[in-house]
Structure formats: structure tokens, C-alpha cells
Amino acid sequence: MKTRRTITIAILVLGTSASQSLLPAQAVGGCFQCSGNPNSLICVDSASGWAICFVTPQSCTVWGACGGGRGCFIGGTPVQTPGGEVAIEELREGDRVIGRNADGKITVNEVVRTYHTLAVAYLVINGELSVTGTHPFLVGSNWVEAGDLRVGDTLVRSDGTTVLIDSVEPIGFGVRAYNITVSGNHTFFADGILVHNKG
């Protein structure tokens, strides 16, 4: 019989206080699952609903799932709304955001669901946009996950122009991460860049 062995290299606790009444969650299929090594993470859920994760040093990369679905953005990421930019963590169900349809026309979409999680790693694109590796971006006519973006790819801005990717930097520590599902064409602009919503 194999024995699971987890080496904890860091404990990141987010929130106002740590609680000793944390309940263990499933390591496989839990709050975050590392690509290629689902047993490399043990997660617990706090009473506030935030995930607190203990990470082993092996095989944990930015390509793991964010909260069991599409990728997430780091707190503070501005999302374009009809009234101006709003940090993604401040958006609520019923709020409206700016998106774009398949014909390239600007649309107004309603936020129908919000998400939060703890990401154990993320990417910084062009030194500005921070996102987990599974979030889809429009590159040409295809949706491409952030973890598959390459220097030289072009992303679509809210004004219809494109921006060239000149850097994709992996960051290997835990942060709070957020996402939304929107109505209509399921797109919105994060930090001025067109992205697809969660799910």
C-alpha cells in the first residue's frame, strides 16, 4: 500500500484570522488541482469559503484549474463597464460589463455569477495583466488559454486594435483570484484585453 507524503513548503492564510476548525477537503478535485500531479496539493476550506492550500514543491504549475473551471484574474484587475473600470472582485451579479460579439461589435453583458478562489500560481502578461493559466484569450480567431500564450501572439483591445505579447512571466506563489460569468456572448475586457468568461 502506497503512503501519501506531502511536504509543506509554505502556508498562505488569507483573511482576518486563521481558524483551527478548518476541515480537510479532497486533495484530488478539491479547490485547486495541479496539472500532472493531482496529489501535490492538500486544500482546506475556511468558514468564510476561502480556500487555503498547502503546496508540495513538485509539479505544481500555472496550468492547474482555477476553482475547478476556467481561469481567474488576480484581485485588482480592472474590468471595463459602461460606467468605467471596476476591479473584478468588486463586481456583483446584475452588474453590467463591456464585451464584444463575434462580429467585432461592442456589447453590454450582465454579470450572472461571480467566483473567487485561491490560485497557487499565475502568469503576468506584458508586465501588467495577472491571470491563471487556464483563462481563454482571443488570439486571431481562436480562444487560447493563458498558459499557451507565446511571445509574439496578439491580443485584442477594447478599442479594436491589437497588442503584441512581449512577455509572459510565471509567478509561483498564492494569491486571491476572481472571475465572472456574463450573459450574451460571454466576453468581457480585463485590463483592456478581450477575454472569455468562466465556464
Give the C-alpha distances (Å, rounded to integers) separating 95 from 48, 69, 87, 91, 153: 23, 21, 12, 6, 31
CATH architecture of 73-196: Beta Complex (2.170)
- Which tens digit of pLDDT belongs to each residue from 113-129? 988 877 777 899 999 99
- The mean predicted confidence, pLDDT, of the chain is 72
pLDDT given for residue 199 in this prediction: 58
> What is the 3-state secondary structure of 97-145?
EEEECCCCCEEEEEEEEEEEEEECCEEEECCCEEECCCCEEEECCEEEE
- Which tens digit of pLDDT belongs to each residue from 86-115? 999 999 999 999 999 989 999 999 999 988
- Confidence band, pLDDT 50/70/90 cuts, at residue 133: confident
- Which tens digit of pLDDT belongs to each residue from 17-39? 332 222 232 333 333 443 343 43
- Which tens digit of pLDDT belongs to each residue from 51-77? 444 444 333 333 334 434 557 899 899
Give the C-alpha distances (Å, rounded to integers) separating 123 from 10, 37, 111, 118: 19, 19, 24, 14
Break the chain into its structural domains and give their ranges. 73-196
